[in-house]
Structure 1
Amino acid sequence: MAKKKKFKNNKKSWPKEKKPSIFALPEETRKRIWGVVVFILAIIITLSFFDLAGVAGSASMRALTFLIGKAVFIIPLILVLGGLVFFNVKYKKFFGPTILAIFILIAGIAGLIESLRPETKQGGWLGYILSWPFLGLFGGLVAKIVFGGVIVIGGLIFWYLIRGPRVKEIPRTGETLEIEKEPSLIKKIFLPKFKVKEVEPKIKETSTKLEEPILELRTKEVPAKLLAGEQYKTPPLELLETDKGKAAAGDIVTNSAIIKKTLENFGLPVEMSEINTGPTVTQYTLKPAEGIKLSKITTLSNNLSLALASHPIRIEAPIPGKSLVGIEVPNKIRCQIRLRGLIANPQFQTAASNLTIVLGKDVSGFSCYADLA
């Protein structure tokens, strides 16, 4: 016969609930008890200054004087601040920051006392050890500034511990109140003091309907004289200005000789031809010898500009309609061409077309016109 297996019910062992101790006290009460203890310690140290704390008080006074020097007289005040922290603190984790603030204040005061009178050990061995690197490397002024800043840091930590977090109640709809979450102590000290304000985006409502533009036609009455066919009279030429200045090209004979000599220096013999003086430039024409490439002449524009002491010059090779090369040199004095002289020219006045327009004057100083018809 098959043996029957016996299965045992595995009962899980649940942890037993801890019964509250008879001596368990509320957290607020424990904080205040520790605050009273700190106050009593401050009183004992104060009495030891006057030899009223017995043998233990005198021994502790000698030990503290050896360690921190004259900074021992500020310890009761620091302990009073620590006791106030235990009475007023609202943070859950405050014991570590409180001890840190006490140590920072004691170290800062001891170092400052030693910096005021170096190598006297009036700040005790702690002040001597802390101030020695700063005094040796940076001097007394920097050491005083550093330890002063350390004291300020310790005081700020005490200030935030005693003041506690600020709880703001923000009323909402109905009777419910919402409490803002307060940041931790470290964030409270080191975070910048500004708030980000949430702004709801404003959405502009744009109408999708486009307004049709309204076109308004205005009529203008035509003068009766034009309807009668009266001939139009052009305004007089006296309303326009005349040409200003007279073009001066300088010594054109010397310039012509300089151009010829400069080209011959580069192995390019030429024969100088006519010279045309225009309102802004003067054109020196020349005929190169047979077998000379025009590209060799055009590459010498900078050399010619240097020789003539004039810039810029323009080489036209060849001149349209002529077997010559033109070198245009700016005039010493330029002439300003006005519209009056071009219109008063007989060539324009006797033009057959009514659509003749004025273009200006060319390099030779001749007036140029065009017919749009």
Structure 2
Amino acid sequence: MDRREFLLTAGAAGALLGVPAMARSQDAAPRPPQHPSLYIDAQGGLDGFEPDGKGGYTPTEKLIEGLKQRRIDVVSMTIAEVGNGPDRFRGAMEAIASWDKMIGEHPDLLIKVESAADLAAARAPGRCGLIYNFQDTTPLEADPSKAAMFGTLGVKIIQLTYNKRNLAGDGCLESANAGLSDFGREAIAEIEKANVLLDLSHSGQRTQAEGIAAAKRPPAITHSGCRALVDFPRNTYDAEMKALADKGGVFGVYLMPFLRAKGQPGREDLIRHLEHAVKVCGEDHVGIGTDGPFLGYEVNDETRKRQREFYEDRAKRGIAAPGEGADVLNLVEGYNDATRYDQLAADLKARGWSSARVDKLLGDNFARLFTEVWKA
């Protein structure tokens, strides 16, 4: 089962995970419609659709209500398969067409985000902006010039590698840590030429360092954690985090098991990584990329069964990272529903964060980066 398929099926069931030791997250008040901030998930998924009986999908009331309350404004979602394999270009083209159709059928709910103007339009209550991204350069199929075509079709973020080695360079699970290839340098140049954001998540340490150095525009690491706190390959060393920030980029922290060395992560784990990232990068260069579904997971026996199957499939394909597990769900307890940004904002302010710093973290920093990179 593909990761994105799992996120959709697990997230669509809709019940919430309650954590007795913590306040219920749905108590967090939604932002007023006139609030100027943007909530941006730099790597996530928009679940909450159900079959309409006509071969298509329709939004659930839970999704509509969450968007009406401005629980999220913009989600960057992966629309193509990751990893090496056949037909990656064709699959990406079919996915673009499919999501274009979905957005066209629900114009009052969804907006395709390709510019700063689209980001602004996504502030309206009841709508959500969708950014198309690739978490791999495999859809380019050995032709870096295809980045321009995908950019024209609305793919606004392209990640260089996904865990293992591809033509562009080594992912974070490659023991050789060989860094960028010549093709990878060509791909970076073409991605930037197309006004598409370069994402270095999932890359190996040398690939990240060399990618940041090769970039002419600010790049991003949209979803990772701090390796100084938890030594897993999916997390990022301070040196690369600092280099990214020095180049004007943004480091997105995910809501994933890699935030702690063992067991299910909770609120304190996420906040610890956020505070470390701000210390290393500065408050203008940190954001959120949840790597999870907007409505969260229903936690029950079926979800745990799917998690075991999901992990076993990834382990079989060699793309499961240390820190993943058959019995650890891809979520942070206490932030497992559509109110997670509101609740996180409240938690951070209770720790002394200013409203301005919280707004930067929850979307304004990525909005600034997107606007800068996407402009012609």
Shorter chain as denominator, the TM-score bin is under 0.3
Q: TM-score, normalised by structure 1?
A: 0.17
Q: TM-score, normalised by structure 2?
A: 0.17
| Greater Rg over alpha carbons, structure | 1
* More RCO (CA 8 Å, sep 6+): 2
